[in-house]
Structure 1
Amino acid sequence: MPTISTAECFTHGKVANELHAFARGYPHEYLFSIDRKKVDISVVAGMFIPTLTGVRTLLHFEPLEPRLVIDTVKVYEQDQDCIMACRMAEAVMRVTGADIGIGTTAGIGKGAVAIASQDKIYSKVTRIDADFRTSDAKKLMQREKSGVFTALRLFEEFLLEGEFPDSYNKYI
């Protein structure tokens, strides 16, 4: 059974929550296209990590220098978000010993989500452009929702790619 851990910023731990709900078989907000009875997964950990200190102490790596820091929250430009999401996905996988790591981060731009395994990493941006410094709460929450959807869709695509040994995806 593949194990998953998340290191999330702008998605506020909701990716881990949705994955856990899927794994346990109870309905939640995201409608998975894969059959839960045919895919057995386990969530090891879901971490909400919006700060540089959190990245350093929980994920054990030195983060990129952010564009700015607001009340200890790291704020990156879009290209930095893409790099950091990948690094967070790889780090949370390593730190927790999970088979899959998912990282999310967004500051200025659309934000980024990444999913990593031992030998692959995929990343995407969300559909909603926002700026942590200036966008209103409604816009930031729209980007969050888009980030959760993007991460979960990317996870499904990752599973369907056949990333795991045959015993993990034999029913897909």
Structure 2
Amino acid sequence: MIKIATAECFTHGKIGLELHALAQNYEGNFGSRYIENISGYGNFDYNELSVICSLFIPTIDAMNDILNVKNPPEPDYLIKGIKVYDEVGDKKTSKVMAKAVMELTDCDIAIGTTAGIGHGAVTIITPNYEITTTSDVYSDLRENKSEELFQRQNSGIKKAINIILLFLNDKIDEIKNLKNTEIIEK
């Protein structure tokens, strides 16, 4: 069984929900919203997945109190306690969030996401890899552009799910070819 845990900000826990629906083989209104052609990825048995938690962590306080991150990266701005970083800060913070949820849960795959000013960041940590990517949509959380923020969120969710499915099907080379994606082998 492969255990997955997420600490999500701009993706609002939807990556965890999506992976849970996949692992449980849910269909219809309870099923996947983002996965269209699962058979195109390979033969991995998704019954071997278990999402042990999917956390929505938008604030510095939540990073401290829930993820036990005592010294999170200093945000560029705070909006009602919500952390706002530039894209470099988002990449750094998504890694911190993924590592923290991995330590808390002893999961096999950890996912951290956060987005402030820029494309946002998604980090996926496994025993052998640290994969960081961005969405394909630029937005600025300080501006109340709901549709733009929604598009960035959708892009981040789709990209994270795509990477997870490629990873589970041993398609690391395909991940390496994705736009704005960095892979560090441990």
Deviation of the 1:135 alpha carbon: 4.6
1:42 aligns with 2:46: no
TM-score under structure 1 length normalisation: 0.89
SS at match of 1:6: strand
Give 1:6-155 correspondences, 5 Å limit.
6-26=6-26, 27-31=31-35, 32=38, 33-34=40-41, 38-39=45-46, 40-61=48-69, 62-155=71-164
TM-score under structure 2 length normalisation: 0.82
**Given that residues 90 and 117 in structure 1 are in contact (C-alpha distance below 8 angstroms), is that contact kept between their aligned partners in structure 2?**
no
State, as a whole percentage, how many aligned pairs show the same letter: 39
Deviates more, 1:84-93 or 1:5-14: 84-93
How many correspondences in the alignment?
A: 163
CA distance in 2, matches of 1:79, 1:64: 11
Question: Deviating runs (4+, > 6 A) in structure 1?
Answer: none
Deviation of the 1:159 alpha carbon: 1.7
Please name the residue that 1:167 is paired with: none
Q: CA RMSD in A?
A: 1.7
SS at match of 2:133: strand
- Which letter does structure 2 place at the counterpart of 1:111? G
SS at match of 1:149: helix
Unaligned runs of 5+ in 1: 164-172
**Given that residues 23 and 50 in structure 2 are in contact (C-alpha distance below 8 angstroms), is that contact kept between their aligned partners in structure 1?**
yes
Unaligned runs of 5+ in 2: 173-186
